[in-house]
Amino acid sequence: MRAEIITVGTELLLGQTLDRHSAYLSQECSSLGIDVYFHTSVGDDARRLLEVIRIASSRSDLVLLCGGLGPTMDDLTKETLARFLKVNLIQDSASLAHLQKIFAGRSLPIPENNYKQTYVFPGGTVFPNENGTAPGLAITSAGITYVLMPGPPKELVPMFEHHVRPFLIGLLPEKQVIVSHPLSFFGIGESLLEKRLSDIIEQQTNPVIATYAKEAGVTLRLTAKARDDQAAHDLIAPVRAQILDRVGEYCFSEEDSSLEEVVVSLLRQQKRSIALAESCTGGLAAHLLSTVPGSSHTLKGGFVSYTDEVKNEIVHVPKQVLIEEGAISSAAAEAMAQQTRQQFQSDFALSITGVAGPDPAEGKPVGQVFVGLAEVHQPTRVYQYLLKGSRQRIQLLAAKHALFILQQRLKKGETTT
């Protein structure tokens, strides 16, 4: 099957948005045995998009289109393809109900232009969008299948994984089962992970191993083809074991769960609680935990202790520590964690203090971060990191490192250095 990918959006041509969809979809197609021959980016212009679709239809069996499904006037992908195929779009009752439900939750009337998102191809396939208003679509005409997906990554990726991938598997001529197994890592970069596993990755053709860099972390996806589920899992099992033998200390999930989801799940299983004291992250670690349903059973609360006064007067970090060692120090992180655990009477407490930037502080470089972990009846541990990136990225990585430390303690009975 010959495939190509068309990404739609003038922002791509202006360089305002980086096209990550083509790389992601190419990797996914490759894991399914679908060969991608062309990548094309086109602006929000009906005439040029029509020409790109016409060219794609002349050389490919599968055309994946990303973007241009929204409610605005320059969202033209669906309408332009309908014009090319000479079909009239029809309103889909399920998509209409989904749109109405979303706006009912907002207590706002539905803007008239939003209704265009509820129109679909007659006889086509509709992919639900659990993270947005525009459904995905598929239609086959003259032996060519067109798949349309929304542009925002938070909508496209889940839609592909939950709906489009199974649809594409159904198009494949070989009656084989395709099984994917994710391995999520933190604390090791994509390039180093690939280096540690290079021989395994190079030797494998079934299962295929693909790496995906996330905002904070890396996911490996092992995808196997076989006659049935069990045979596919049997192919994956020895490769999985090899990978975990080498880099298992960095793996926090085999279920595509986020780090915060894993931490909350482990805390709930063990009936243990957590409190936090955060400085440079401004409460981000607590926020990440609070996004997980059920976190109220484990998350007791926390302090955002951004100033020395708050560290001393509210968290009860000794003034002597702040004067002699500084607020950005191992001693401060240790005291913050200990005092927070005691005040909240929690099983664990995490503390984070550091320099998020843009300027150094207390003679410490940007990215210098200390994370403390206090545990009832155990000595308090402090970990030091030198993180790279923007202020926001340093904050995110610091919060994630703190959660990863706790995850290691809960899951393996140990922490990383």
State the DSSP string of 279-343.
Answer: STTTTHHHHHHHTSTTGGGTEEEEEE--SHHHHHHTS---HHHHHHT-SSSHHHHHHHHHHHHHH
Beta-ladder partners of 180: 223
- B/e letters for 243-255, b = 16+ CB within 10 Å, e = fewer, are beeebeebbbbee
| Rounded-to-integer distance, Cα 125 and Cα 168, Å | 12
Tell me if 125 sits within 8 A of 118, measured CB to CB: no
Tokens of 322: 């702040």
| Rounded-to-integer distance, Cα 305 and Cα 314, Å | 8
Tell me if 81 sits within 8 A of 141, measured CB to CB: no
- Give me the pLDDT at residue 168, please: 94
CB atoms within 10 A of CB 161: 15
- B/e letters for 379-392, b = 16+ CB within 10 Å, e = fewer, are ebbbbebebeeeee
- Give me the pLDDT at residue 416, please: 47
Domains of the chain (ranges; CATH) run 2-171 (3.40.980.10), 177-253 (3.30.70.2860), 259-412 (3.90.950.20)
Q: What share of the chain is helix, strand, coil (3-state, %, to 5)?
A: 45, 25, 30
Tokens of 102: 């979303």
- Give me the pLDDT at residue 414, please: 53
pLDDT tens, the chain, 417 aa long: 899 999 999 999 999 999 999 999 998 898 788 989 999 999 999 999 999 999 999 999 999 999 999 999 899 999 999 999 999 999 999 999 999 999 987 877 899 999 999 999 999 999 999 999 999 999 999 999 999 999 999 999 999 999 999 999 889 877 678 888 999 999 999 999 999 999 999 888 899 898 888 888 999 999 998 888 899 999 999 999 999 999 999 999 999 899 999 999 999 999 999 999 999 999 999 999 999 999 999 999 999 999 999 999 999 999 999 999 999 999 999 999 999 999 999 999 999 999 999 999 999 999 999 999 999 999 999 999 999 999 999 999 999 999 999 999 998 765 444
- Give me the pLDDT at residue 413, please: 65
C-alpha closest to that of 32 among 164, 183, 191 = 164
C-alpha closest to that of 29 among 190, 198, 223, 219 = 223
- Which uninterrupted H or E stretch holds 392? helix 391-412
CA distances from 336 to 106, 170, 218, 272, 311 (A): 40, 55, 30, 19, 7
CB-based contacts of 342, cutoff 8 Å, min separation 6 = none
**Three-state helix/strand/coil letters over 235-274:** HHHHHHHHHHHHHHHHEEECCCCCHHHHHHHHHHHCCCCE
| Rounded-to-integer distance, Cα 5 and Cα 401, Å | 36
**8-state DSSP, 414:** -
